[in-house]
Amino acid sequence: MVELTPEEQRVLGCLIEKEALTPDQYPLTLNSVLLACNQTTNREPVVLYDRETATNALAGLREKQLTRVVYPAHARATKYRHVIGEVWALTEQEQAVLAVLMLRGPQTAGELKARTDRYASFEDLGGVEGVLDRLASRPEPMVVRIGRLPGQREERFAHLLGGPVEIAAPAPSGSGIEAEVRALRAEVDALRRDVNHLLERGTGSLTTDG
């Protein structure tokens, strides 16, 4: 599977998003692509691309055969559309999950369920998890579990369209945290005893002038 640059990921995610949410304005002109990339809502991170950056990303996606140029019969502006459903044989739900991951970074299944409802119909959280499982078990996986961060209850998922991602170490369980605290307390107690012992030896070796 080809690897996409961060700019290509942002543009591709925007094309999928706008096709689903504003179909009457799709395919997108270069200006529309640029505005979508630079949105400050539903984006992580927020970026500020210029026309050259967006143009280069569209050109890169076209070279990778993931987008096509549309030349409207009665309009001057060239428009762009994605074709990842055809190229990668993806369902509407799978495209929605990938788009949200590209636009907002690693997320839990619950977050993905809430954020893809506008794109496609998911019956429940199990539907999203089924999509994630399918994307993760493809011959060339498109998503991966990256574990949960300390303080989180759910595992997160990340897309692999930009190449391998760093997988976080699992957060310690409650019993694991308690064990660590006990070990730290034991170390502190041992250090305190050593310090007291040294102080006692130092005091005992003191002499006074007659």
Is the entire prediction scored with pTM above 0.85?
no
Q: Which domain holds residue 77?
A: 6-159
Residue 62 lies in a domain: yes
Residue 148 lies in a domain: yes
Per the structure, the count of domains in the chain is 1
> Token digits for 204?
């005992």
Question: Do the bridges between strand 79-82 and strand 67-70 make them parallel or antiparallel, or are there none, so unpaired?
Answer: antiparallel
148-200 pLDDT, tens digit each: 877 778 899 999 999 998 775 555 555 555 656 666 676 777 677 777 777 77
**With contact defined as beta carbons under 8 Å apart, do 38 and 80 qualify?**
no
Residue 22 lies in a domain: yes
Output the CA angle 28-73-14, nearest 5 degrees: 10
- Three-state SS for 156? strand
Residue 179 lies in a domain: no
Distance CA 109, CA 183 (A): 35
- Check which CATH number belongs to the domain holding 52 and give it: 1.10.10.10
